[in-house]
Amino acid sequence: MSTALAEPLTFECETGNYHTFCPISCVAWLYQKIEDSFFLVVGTKTCGYFLQNALGVMIFAEPRYAMAELEEGDISAQLNDYKELKRLCLQIKQDRNPSVIVWIGTCTTEIIKMDLEGMAPQLEAEIGIPIVVARANGLDYAFTQGEDTVLAAMAHRCPSLEKGSRVEPRAEGTLVENLLRFAKPNAPLPLSHGEVAKLSQPPLVLFGSLPSTVATQLTMELKNQGISVAGWLPAQRYIDLPALGEGVHVCGVNPFLSRTATTLMRRRRCKLVGAPFPIGPDGTRAWIEKICSVFDIQPQGLEEREAAIWAGLEDYLELVRGKSVFFMGDNLLEVSLARFLIRCGMIVYEIGIPYMDKRFQAAELELLERTCHEMGVPLPRIVEKPDNYHQIQRIRELQPDLAITGMAHANPLEARGISTKWSVEFTFAQIHGFTNSRDILELVTRPLRRNESLQSLGWTSLVKSSGN
């Protein structure tokens, strides 16, 4: 257990032959998050078939998303893209009247070089609805990175915090309030409880799409430290997007938002707070502490709060301690989850991950390293662009207690006696903040608990040739 403690994290890169969801799947959660939006996926039957099957029954609840299905005439440029899109967007405007239409570019629009970014402003002016273009295609991105492309595009649409309105340290409270209110008329007041000491705090905008409950929970955690959240990207409604500009601090809540972070820094001149992500009580505490340190605040009562959460998890921790995990990798949450699970006492063999932004995840990686040292376990190997075939060979060799994997491999692995957890569930479950720590373990321990109840039956391996 004490081996390899001094070694730094190692990163490997394989062939990129792995299973993941297409990034257009982000429409599934984003259309629910942004209530006045409409998502139009410009692609083929393949994209439509994926959405229809992956999103299951959601499709029947009158979704605010649709396919602009390209036909042969569109591909061979016999039809005029602009006119076609205009026709569809007018229909959407008439049927749903959204505040924003998001065009999702796909592989096909990339290959035929459809100029969505060029057409959008023109069409926007013509039909009077903002059109945001995000290229969430499988040529460039994996699964959750789809959200990243959409939020990066939305960052351009956030209202500007004028340079003159930059908060001066000793400015009067009401003035600040007025200025901020002026910048975004519908947003809640940034200041709460009249905590005068915190008037000097520059605006903080959090980015990443979370269910509103979780967003409220995180906002409250910060409020407890006297930090007010000026806004979220994305907000519940498109028209409530937060104001951005020089002097605004931004902080991500999910590890896959590196493009958004870059856009916020480079294009909107915001200051990025690089912190571990608020996943698990350890991550949440580190996240809050980092934000506090940026604003020169001494965090209050965090240690006790974290300890209390851990104490509440004890029944689940008993189940996971000493067990081993293998992340095949498909949604970029892997490093944060692995770090949390190591803190829970698990041993992580491998962290597969589609894409590793070492700069955006720097603080998270550092926390991972520290966690490994403190728990006295060897550092896991981080495999970028993994090769599922090779991974399955490694899983066979290592026989981990749990493989966190996509649905394509879950049933075949289970049939071979390897317990699995579908990775997609981590994307859709509420896993952020202190309050939801238990939900992560609920997911992780489910196969372990299930196996406990089936153990005595003696049918773990259910394939004919046990060799494979």
Partner 1 sequence: MKLAYWMYAGPAHIGTLRVASSFKNVHAIMHAPLGDDYFNVMRSMLERERDFTPVTASIVDRHVLARGSQEKVVENIARKDKEERPDLIILTPTCTSSILQEDLQNFVDRAALESESDVLLADVNHYRVNELQAADRTLEQVVRFYVEKARKQNNLATALTPRPSANIIGVFTLGFHNQHDSRELKKLLQDLGIDVNEVIPEGGSVTRLRNLPKAWFNIVPYREVGLMTAHYLERELGMPFVSTTPMGVVDTAAFIREVEGILTQRAPQTSPGESVSLNGSLVNFEDYIEQQTRFVSQAAWFSRSIDCQNLTGKKAVVFGDATHAASMTKILAREMGIRVSCSGTYCKHDADWFREQVQGFCDEVLITDDHTHVGDMIARIEPAAIFGTQMERHIGKRLDIPCGVISAPVHIQNFPLGYRPFLGYEGTNQVADLVYNSFTLGMEDHLLEIFGGHDTKEVITKSLSTEGGLVWAPDGLAELTKIPGFVRGKIKRNTEKFASDNNISKITLEVMYAAKEAAGA
Q: Two tokens at 306?
A: 């974290």
Does 415 sit near partner 1 (CB under 8 A)? yes
Residue nearer to partner 1 on the CB measure, 6 or 60: 60
Rounded Cα distance between 164 and 60, Å, is 48
Does 467 sit near partner 1 (CB under 8 A)? no
Q: Which of 28, 66, 191, 356 binds partner 1 (CB under 8 A)?
A: 66
Q: List the interface residues with partner 1, window 374-393 (CB under 8 A).
A: 389, 392
Does 218 sit near partner 1 (CB under 8 A)? no
Does 63 sit near partner 1 (CB under 8 A)? yes
Q: Which of 27, 30, 44, 209 binds partner 1 (CB under 8 A)?
A: 44
Residue nearer to partner 1 on the CB measure, 67 or 351: 67
Q: Two tokens at 439?
A: 């939900």
Does 213 sit near partner 1 (CB under 8 A)? yes
| Residue 118, C-beta contacts closer than 8 angstroms, at least 6 positions apart | none
Does 442 sit near partner 1 (CB under 8 A)? yes
Count interface residues toward partner 1 (CB under 8 A).
Answer: 78
Rounded Cα distance between 21 and 17, Å, is 13
Q: List the interface residues with partner 1, window 336-355 (CB under 8 A).
A: none
Rounded Cα distance between 35 and 18, Å, is 33
Q: Which of 159, 247, 312, 345 binds partner 1 (CB under 8 A)?
A: 312
Does 406 sit near partner 1 (CB under 8 A)? yes
Q: How far is the CB of 330 from partner 1 (least distance, A)?
A: 10
- Can the peptide bond before residue 130 be classed as cis, meaning omega within 30 degrees of 0? no
Q: Which of 37, 137, 149, 225 binds partner 1 (CB under 8 A)?
A: 137
Residue nearer to partner 1 on the CB measure, 42 or 100: 42
Residue nearer to partner 1 on the CB measure, 67 or 379: 67
Q: How far is the CB of 426 from partner 1 (least distance, A)?
A: 16
Interface region with partner 1, contact rule CB under 8 A, candidates 175-183, 248-256, 363-371, 408-416: 408-416
Q: How far is the CB of 442 from partner 1 (least distance, A)?
A: 7
Does 408 sit near partner 1 (CB under 8 A)? yes
Amino acid at 190: P
* 107 known ligand binder: yes
Rounded Cα distance between 184 and 161, Å, is 9
Rounded Cα distance between 80 and 101, Å, is 20
Q: Which of 49, 97, 168, 399 binds partner 1 (CB under 8 A)?
A: 49
Name the binding residues for [4Fe-4S] cluster: 22, 47, 107
